[in-house]
C-alpha cells in the first residue's frame, strides 16, 4: 500500500461480481482467505493509483497496462464503438501464489472515468478461463451492463 488517500471510488460491475464470486467459490477456505486479502489490497491500491503503481511493488500485482477498447476495428453496423473522451480502459495483471498452472495468472479489467474519479470494475478472469483477452463482443456486453457508455 502506498499510504496515500484514495482519490477514486470503485464501482463493481455485475460481471466483476459474478466472476469474482465464481472464482472464490472454487477455492479452499485457506486459499479463499488469501484471495480476499489479495483482492482487497489490489482494489485499495487501484483507488489511489489506477494507472501505475507508486513506490514499492505490491505482492501479487505484476503490472497495469492500458487496453484497446473493444469494437473499434471490427465490422458491423450493430457493433458498439468504444473509445470515449475522458474514459480509459485498463487491465491489471495479478499473480495468485496459492493457485496452480494457468489459474495462477489473474486479470482485472476496468474502465477509468476521469471526470467522476471512478473506476468501473468490469471483470476478473484467469488464464485457465481465457488464455488471452475475452472477445470484443463479450467485452462490449460487459461494458454495456456496467454502464460504460459507447461513443455516439
- Measured between alpha carbons, how far is 21 from 146 in angstroms, rounded to an integer? 17
Helix (H, G, I), strand (E, B) or coil at 139: helix
Per-residue pLDDT, 1: 43
pLDDT tens readout for residues 38-95? 888 888 888 888 887 655 566 567 888 888 888 754 444 444 455 567 888 999 988 8
Amino acid at each position: 500500500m502506498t499510504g496515500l488517500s484514495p482519490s477514486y471510488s470503485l464501482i463493481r460491475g455485475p460481471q466483476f461480481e459474478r466472476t469474482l464470486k465464481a472464482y472464490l467459490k472454487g477455492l479452499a477456505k485457506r486459499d479463499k482467505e488469501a484471495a480476499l486479502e489479495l483482492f482487497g489490497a489490489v482494489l485499495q491500491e487501484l483507488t489511489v493509483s489506477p494507472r501505475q503503481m507508486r513506490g514499492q511493488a505490491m505482492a501479487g500485482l505484476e503490472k497495469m497496462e492500458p487496453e484497446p477498447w473493444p469494437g473499434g476495428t471490427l465490422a458491423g453496423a450493430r457493433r458498439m464503438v468504444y473509445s470515449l473522451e475522458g474514459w480509459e480502459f485498463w487491465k491489471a495483471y495479478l499473480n495468485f501464489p496459492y493457485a496452480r498452472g494457468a489459474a495462477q495468472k489473474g486479470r482485472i479489467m476496468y474502465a477509468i472515468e476521469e471526470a467522476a474519479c471512478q473506476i468501473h470494475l468490469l471483470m476478473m478472469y484467469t488464464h485457465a478461463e481465457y488464455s488471452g483477452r475475452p472477445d470484443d463482443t463479450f467485452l462490449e456486453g460487459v461494458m454495456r451492463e456496467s454502464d460504460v457508455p459507447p461513443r455516439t
